[in-house]
Structures are given as structure tokens and as C-alpha cells.
Amino acid sequence: MNWHHTITNWHKATRTHHEEDACVEIGVTHGVVGIRDTKHQIMPTTTRPVVIVSSSTFASFLDGVRS
């Protein structure tokens, strides 16, 4: 599945380092969250890596990061 087209609301994370080009983008659709590195945007979408996790797994991750 090509998640880059399935997830259409990609946005940069709020805590990002623009100066270092150390950004990740997050997108959500149908109970899943996609995570991708903005440095890979020059790659074709068919080969650009995307990490896909369930919305509940991502929520648990955020809870862990915040505590």
C-alpha cells in the first residue's frame, strides 16, 4: 500500500529543528498514524520509508515521551 497517497494530511511535528533539517512528518487516517522523515522527500513516494502504527500505539508513545 502506498501510504503517502492514503494519508493526505501530512504535517511537520510541532517540536522540530528546522535549522538542522531534523523534521518528521505525521499523518493520520482510519485508525493508523504514519511517520516519515522530511529528509527523504526527494525520494520517489513508492520507495520513501514510512513507519505505520495504530493510533492507540502512537498515543501510548506520546504519553511515554511526555512523562
Domain extents in the chain: 3-66
Considering only CA atoms, which of 45, 55, 53, 49 is closest in space to residue 36? 49
Q: What is the pTM of this model?
A: 0.75
- In this predicted structure, what is the pLDDT of residue 36? 85
Tens digits of pLDDT across the chain (67 residues): 677 678 878 888 776 666 666 688 889 998 999 998 877 677 776 677 889 999 999 999 999 988 8
Considering only CA atoms, which of 39, 57, 59, 62 is closest in space to residue 49? 39
